[in-house]
């Protein structure tokens, strides 16, 4: 009984849409989740994670195949399944106009929890989630991390035997993420619950007992984290040198034969080789005397990237750019004590920073930290309540339109017209930027070629994979040859290969003299920035180069802190400071 | 816990949740209570389908005792504001300039033709741009003319060969006050809004916010979700109805000649039909925008235009008249106007109620069949 898998999928397929335009979301997938373990469904957006979750919860019917949850046939008895599992959908399933207590009561009633058991259960859940002081607050007024914990608590009011969590950590700050994982571990350990959770964060893979790696509706492989990293042993290296900037080192490493992948990792460039024969670093870098190469401990992302490259061997064309005239140490963007208030809520509180020409500058923070608001003010889309904003020497209060013509903007979720083709989209944006017919043709040809979009020029952009959409959005933002590029969450949801490729392009753009301002909630991406600001709840907690920020938190326990350690330390430091007041 | 007790607990939880949301959501309250006030004020005070104080041009070519008497008849009618013109050219000019809505022309042979008993010794021109207004004006002018002609005949002891003499006697709404049938009809409009539009939109909201997904992965049954939605909105709709009735009776002094019980019963029946339409829409529309648009086009506009609330069904083209049979509001408006202005006329009430009952069963039946506890 106890050894029966909590979940079994056998040859499950599912398509969406009408016959001729049907999109196959799952291709005959088979896997099982062991009882009392955490099974992670891992993959980028569009991998089929949510569809798998919904089928397991009896919310969608499979087109073919069989599945069982806790020994129950889900297709035959969905009600019985739904009574036995706990489920948290991507958007938590909370009623924002009900209070924390009312949400809990609702789910307790729906799950048939007896009135006598409730009190003890509520106490336990509130203790676990630290929500006890907020029971009377409306769910809509909780922070992102608190909502996520309440959503989890609601799915736990009656201890389920099997817990389904769909991207529970998406867009949440690292502190809340860590708390959530602690809760999940406790549930598994103390109550023997089996968990199936999906995530797009590859660093969370290592926290699972078992990993199901998904990509484009296929299961690439299933195994323990150790299994995945095992065959990467001897193939991963950290490379660094004081004589080259990371960005240049990265570019040069990508061309060394025998290297499969290179990516900025903390203060090093992380390299994956094609096989265990070490590449000829010395020969490729004979101009540099102080190149340090160390073997690195393989992580899950290495394994994923190696498998993806095997799955879709891509071609990477270098980005051709005219070098802009470079005047050193000239501030292109200046933000001086800027505040933004909505009613009595401060979305941005007293933020100041400046960005130099050719710099990649990051705004790092969780959802709701005020990054997008800052961005919109810099684009002149939102007036600041107080403070000064200057972009390319123009005061945004007086010459917003003029400043806008000098910058390219790539919005969150790559907002382009889904029902236009790629070339129609580019044409539209070129006209919107006021290019004449000849310039338009020239720039669109350039964009199609540079971003490898030529073969998709006449494809409806709604049908493109996310990585292509992202490229098209970047191409559209660069059509008018701007000096400054604003990127709002440019890599959210795309697979690691598309993300690498994207950063290569951004690096090349910065090398050519374009100033890049980027927001992200991926801690690892902060290492690509020359300098960054860490934001939380509208405030700037710290700013500096990634190395400076991390160095502040070097200690005996963490001799080599990453950006996430720095972020968590800053947040907790702020909490203590507040408690002290 | 027994299954029945669990069901009761879930139902109670759904109803409580939905009621809290209604109370906290200003837009629900606005649709149920603020909108009725706005509509009532608009239709009670602003819109009138009666022709009163119509400006007409009076052209008398040759003044004598008879023309003076007829002019006096127009002057004394509360329906007209006659203005005298010297000649027909000036009057036509004014008609073109929209300074007057009609012309009554007494030609120089008026008295002579009157004595001979000729037909139509007067000329009437009406501005036909607004057909409705034109027909009413024409009718009123004929009314004044015939009344005057009859009294002229009596005075002179002559027996005239009159064209058909109209002797209007208006029943049920003797003052011919359009407010008296507009205001009861509004109850149908308001209940359509609460029942169909609001309900379909709140279900769509659950889809949009992802709460439906979480709700579905609990032991709740689909009919429990449905009943949990129906009960609070039924109460809200009936509340809106009582509020509107109170305003109709006390503010606008519309008579209620039938019984209040019959009114409430028929309203409850129509509320169920409207909720059925709302649920049916919500099985198709997963976003509030789409739900709102469908509800507007499929329920609200027909209730407004094709129900007999604003426009008389019998004066519509035949094809449109046929279409009105599938508009539930038509039957309810008929009931409302009967109960308010005529009384409990059972043949009318029962026939229309039966139609509503059938529609309720059809809508709720299809909605029930289409609803399943899945996302696709």
DSSP codes of every residue in A68-129: EETTEETTT-HHHHHHHEEEE-TTTT--TTSBHHHHHHHHHHHTT--HHHHHHHHHHHHHHH
For residue B202, the Cα-to-chain-centroid distance in whole angstroms is 27
Best mutation target among A63, A87, A106 (most B Cβ atoms within 10 Å) is A106
Residues of chain B with pLDDT under 70: 46-51, 117-120, 131-132, 157-177
- Locus of tokens 């979700």: B225
User: Coil, strand, or helix at residue A221?
Assistant: strand
- Inter-chain residue contact B374 with A60, CB threshold 8 Å: yes
The ranges assigned to domains in chain A are 7-221, 231-311, 416-481
- Inter-chain residue contact B213 with A93, CB threshold 8 Å: yes
Question: How distant is the Cα of A106 from the closest Cα of chain B, in angstroms?
Answer: 6
Largest pairwise CA distance in chain A: 77
- Inter-chain residue contact A93 with B6, CB threshold 8 Å: no
| Tokens found for residue B10 | 């879930």
For residue B138, the Cα-to-chain-centroid distance in whole angstroms is 24
Question: How distant is the Cα of B244 from the closest Cα of chain A, in angstroms?
Answer: 28
Bridge pairing between strands A268-273 and A236-240: antiparallel
pLDDT in tens, B247-297: 889 988 888 999 999 999 999 999 999 999 999 999 888 899 999 999 999
* % of chain A beyond a pLDDT of 70: 96
pLDDT above 60 for A331: yes
User: Coil, strand, or helix at residue A442?
Assistant: helix
> Residue A314, by phi and psi: left (phi above 0), alpha (psi -120 to 50) or beta?
beta
CA distances from A472 to A416, A440, A441, A448, B371 (A): 9, 16, 16, 9, 40
- Looking at residue B49, its pLDDT comes to 60
pLDDT in tens, A521-533: 888 888 889 999 9
pLDDT in tens, A187-220: 999 989 999 999 888 888 889 999 999 988 999 9
Indicate where chain B has its CATH 3.40.1710.10 domain(s). Answer: 54-156
- Locus of tokens 């007409």: B56
Q: Which one, of A331, A368, A366, lies nearest residue A352 by Cα?
A: A331
The mean per-residue pLDDT over the stretch A271-296 comes to 85
* Long-range own/partner contacts, residues A508-511 (CB < 8 A, 24 or more apart): A508/A251, A508/A318, A508/A319, A508/A321, A509/A319, A509/A321, A509/A478, A509/A485, A510/A247, A510/A358, A510/A359, A510/A360, A511/A247, A511/A248, A511/A321, A511/A358
Residues 6+ apart with CB under 8 A from A124: none
Question: Domain spanning A7-221 has what CATH number?
Answer: 3.40.50.300
DSSP-derived secondary structure letter, B195? I
The mean per-residue pLDDT over the stretch A385-398 comes to 86
**C-alpha span between B31 and B269 (Å, rounded):** 20
Model confidence, pTM: 0.79
- Looking at residue B166, its pLDDT comes to 47
> What is the number of residues in chain A?
581
Highest mean pLDDT among A27-36, A365-374, A569-578, B50-59: A27-36
| Tokens found for residue A372 | 């997008």
Largest pairwise CA distance in chain B: 98
Q: What CATH class does B54-156 carry?
A: alpha beta
State which H helix or E strand residue A572 sits in.
helix A563-580
Question: How distant is the Cα of A328 from the closest Cα of chain B, in angstroms?
Answer: 49
> Residue B288, by phi and psi: left (phi above 0), alpha (psi -120 to 50) or beta?
alpha
| Tokens found for residue A169 | 């950590």
**Looking at domain A231-311, does it have CATH number 3.30.70?**
yes
Instruction: Answer for the pair A426, A441: CB distance below 8 angstroms, yes or no.
Output: no
The mean per-residue pLDDT over the stretch A467-473 comes to 86
- Inter-chain residue contact A154 with B20, CB threshold 8 Å: no
Question: How distant is the Cα of B372 from the closest Cα of chain A, in angstroms?
Answer: 10
- Looking at residue A182, its pLDDT comes to 92
Closest CB to B213: pick one of A89, A109, A114. A89
pLDDT in tens, A416-451: 888 888 999 999 999 988 889 999 999 999 999 888
A83 touches chain B (CB under 8 A): yes
Best mutation target among A109, A151, A154 (most B Cβ atoms within 10 Å) is A109
pLDDT band at A320 (very low <50, low <70, confident <90, very high): low
- Inter-chain residue contact A87 with B217, CB threshold 8 Å: yes
What Rg, from alpha-carbon coordinates, does chain A have? 25
Instruction: Answer for the pair A138, A96: CB distance below 8 angstroms, yes or no.
Output: yes
Q: Which one, of A72, A64, A88, lies nearest residue A7 by Cα?
A: A72
The mean per-residue pLDDT over the stretch A53-65 comes to 94
Partner residues linked to A265 by β-bridges: A268
User: Coil, strand, or helix at residue B325?
Assistant: coil
Best mutation target among B213, B221, B374 (most A Cβ atoms within 10 Å) is B213
**C-alpha span between A419 and A459 (Å, rounded):** 10
Instruction: Answer for the pair A196, A7: CB distance below 8 angstroms, yes or no.
Output: yes
A94 interaction partners in chain B (CB closer than 8 Å): 211, 214
pLDDT above 90 for A105: yes
pLDDT above 50 for A49: yes
pLDDT in tens, A358-374: 899 999 988 778 888 89
User: Coil, strand, or helix at residue A194?
Assistant: strand
A96 interaction partners in chain B (CB closer than 8 Å): 209
Question: How distant is the Cα of A249 from the closest Cα of chain B, in angstroms?
Answer: 45
| Tokens found for residue A2 | 């106890």
- Looking at residue B165, its pLDDT comes to 46
């Amino acid at each position: 009984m106890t050894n029966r898998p909590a979940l079994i999928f056998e040859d499950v397929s599912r398509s969406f849409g009408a016959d001729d335009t049907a999109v196959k979301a799952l291709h005959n997938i088979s896997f099982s989740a062991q009882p009392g373990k955490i099974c992670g469904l891992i993959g980028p957006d569009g991998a089929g994670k949510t569809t798998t979750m919904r089928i397991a919860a009896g919310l969608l019917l499979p087109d073919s195949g069989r599945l069982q949850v806790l020994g129950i046939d889900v297709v035959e008895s969905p009600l019985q399944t739904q009574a036995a599992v706990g489920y948290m959908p991507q958007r938590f399933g909370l009623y924002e106009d009900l209070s924390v207590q009312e949400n809990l009561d609702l789910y307790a009633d729906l799950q048939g929890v007896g009135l006598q058991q409730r009190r003890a259960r509520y106490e336990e859940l509130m203790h676990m989630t630290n929500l006890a002081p907020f029971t009377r607050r409306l769910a809509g007024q909780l922070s992102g991390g608190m909502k996520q914990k309440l959503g989890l608590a609601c799915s736990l009011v009656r201890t389920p035997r099997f817990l389904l969590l769909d991207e529970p950590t998406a867009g949440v700050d690292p502190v809340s993420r860590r708390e959530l994982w602690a809760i999940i571990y406790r549930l598994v350990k103390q109550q023997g619950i089996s968990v199936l959770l999906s995530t797009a964060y590859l660093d969370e893979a290592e926290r699972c007992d078992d990993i199901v790696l998904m990509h484009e509706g296929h299961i690439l492989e299933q195994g323990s984290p150790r299994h995945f990293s095992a065959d990467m042993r001897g193939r991963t290296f950290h490379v660094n040198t004081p004589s080259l900037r990371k960005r240049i080192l990265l570019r040069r490493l990508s061309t060394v034969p025998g290297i499969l992948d290179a990516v900025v990792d903390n203060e090093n460039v992380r390299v994956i080789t094609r096989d265990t024969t070490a590449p000829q670093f010395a020969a490729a870098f004979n101009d540099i005397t102080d190149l340090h190469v160390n073997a690195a401990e393989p992580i899950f992302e290495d394994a994923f990237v190696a498998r993806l490259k095997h799955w879709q061997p891509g071609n990477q064309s270098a980005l051709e750019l005219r070098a802009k005239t470079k005047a050193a140490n000239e501030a292109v963007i200046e933000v001086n004590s800027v505040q933004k208030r909505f009613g009595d809520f401060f979305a941005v509180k007293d933020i100041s920073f400046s960005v130099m020409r050719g710099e990649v500058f990051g705004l790092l923070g969780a959802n709701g930290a005020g990054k997008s608001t800052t961005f919109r003010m810099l684009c002149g889309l939102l007036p600041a309540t107080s403070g000064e904003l200057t972009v390319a020497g123009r005061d945004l209060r007086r010459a917003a339109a003029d400043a806008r013509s000098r910058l390219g903007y790539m919005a969150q979720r790559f907002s382009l017209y889904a029902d236009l083709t790629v070339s129609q989209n580019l044409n539209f944006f070129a006209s919107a930027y006021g290019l004449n017919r000849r310039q338009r043709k020239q720039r669109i040809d350039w964009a199609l070629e540079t971003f490898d979009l030529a073969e998709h020029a006449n494809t409806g952009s709604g049908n493109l994979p996310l990585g292509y959409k992202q490229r098209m959005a970047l191409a559209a933002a660069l059509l008018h040859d701007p000096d400054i590029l604003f990127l709002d969450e440019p890599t959210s949801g795309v697979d690691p290969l598309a993300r690498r490729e994207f950063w290569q392009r951004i690096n090349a753009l910065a090398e050519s003299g374009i100033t890049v301002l980027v927001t992200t909630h991926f801690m690892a991406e902060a290492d690509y920035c020359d300098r960054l600001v860490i934001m939380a709840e509208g405030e700037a907690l710290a700013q500096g180069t990634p190395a400076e920020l991390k160095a502040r938190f070097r200690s005996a326990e963490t001799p080599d802190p990453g950006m996430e350690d720095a972020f968590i330390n800053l947040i907790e430091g702020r909490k203590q400071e507040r408690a002290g007041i | 816990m027994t299954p029945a007790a669990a069901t009761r607990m879930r139902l109670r939880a759904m109803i409580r949740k939905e009621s809290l949301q209604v109370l906290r959501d200003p837009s629900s309250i606005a649709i149920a209570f603020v909108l009725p006030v706005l509509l009532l004020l608009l239709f009670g005070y602003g819109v009138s389908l009666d022709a009163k104080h119509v400006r007409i041009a009076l052209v008398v070519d040759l003044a004598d005792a008879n023309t003076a008497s007829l002019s006096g008849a127009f002057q004394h009618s509360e329906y007209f504001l006659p203005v005298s013109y010297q000649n027909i050219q000036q009057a036509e000019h004014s008609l073109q300039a929209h300074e007057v809505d009609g012309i009554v022309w007494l030609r120089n042979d008026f008295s002579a033709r009157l004595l001979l008993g000729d037909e139509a010794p007067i000329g009437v021109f009406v501005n036909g741009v607004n057909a409705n207004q034109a027909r009413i004006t024409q009718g009123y002018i004929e009314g004044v003319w015939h009344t005057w002609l009859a009294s002229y005949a009596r005075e002179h002891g002559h027996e005239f060969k009159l064209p058909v003499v109209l002797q209007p006697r208006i029943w049920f709404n003797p003052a011919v006050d359009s407010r008296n049938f507009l205001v009861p009809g509004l109850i149908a409009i308001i209940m359509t809004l609460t029942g169909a539009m609001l309900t379909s939109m709140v279900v769509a909201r659950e889809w949009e916010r992802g709460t439906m997904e979480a709700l579905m992965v609990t032991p709740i049954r689909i009919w429990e979700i449905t009943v949990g939605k129906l009960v609070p909105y039924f109460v809200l709709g009936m509340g809106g109805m009582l509020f509107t009735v109170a305003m109709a009776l006390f503010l606008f002094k519309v008579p209620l000649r039938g019984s209040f019980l019959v009114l409430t019963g028929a309203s409850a029946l129509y509320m169920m039909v409207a909720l059925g339409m709302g649920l049916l829409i919500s099985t198709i529309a997963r976003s509030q925008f789409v739900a709102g648009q469908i509800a507007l086009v499929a329920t609200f506009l027909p209730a407004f235009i094709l129900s007999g609330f604003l426009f008389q069904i019998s004066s519509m083209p035949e094809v449109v008249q046929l279409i009105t049979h599938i508009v539930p509001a038509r039957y309810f408006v008929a009931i409302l106007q009967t109960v308010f202005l005529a009384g409990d006329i059972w043949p009318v009430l029962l026939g229309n109620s039966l139609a509503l009952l059938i529609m309720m069963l059809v809508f709720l039946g299809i909605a029930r069949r289409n609803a399943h506890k899945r996302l696709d």
